Structure 1
């Protein structure tokens, strides 16, 4: 008998933000440069972290551009 259990979730956290000149292309509000941290877990055990920068909207939260 073979049983496969794939329970994976991914969380994104914003560590720091700085204002940036420009507007969101979706809602026309202000944007920020953010240091992001992505953590991927498998069955409640974290096994992968990645830090990256992104330009995000302050109003709708959309990721406008990412720098990996």
Structure 2
């Protein structure tokens, strides 16, 4: 009998951000252009890291548009 247990998690971090023109469609707050990093870990060992840009809300944190 074999038992497989996989623990995978994914974290998003904002490296830096700057204000952008426009508002959020959900809460009508301001928007910003953020440089994001996504780290995927398997059993607490990072094995994939990706950098990308996104336009996100400064108040609610919703991602309005992503550039991958």
- TM-score bracket relative to the smaller structure: over 0.9
The list of structure 1 runs, each at least 4 consecutive aligned residues, that deviate by more than 2 angstroms after superposition, is none
CA RMSD for the aligned pairs? 0.5
User: Which blocks of at least 5 consecutive residues in structure 2 are unaligned?
Assistant: none
Cα distance, 1:18 vs. partner?
Answer: 0.8
| Matched pairs, number | 68
- The equivalent residue for 1:66 is 66
Residues 1-68 of structure 1 aligned to structure 2 (within 5 Å):
1-68=1-68
Gaps of 5+ in 1: none
Using the size of structure 1 for normalisation, the TM-score is 0.97
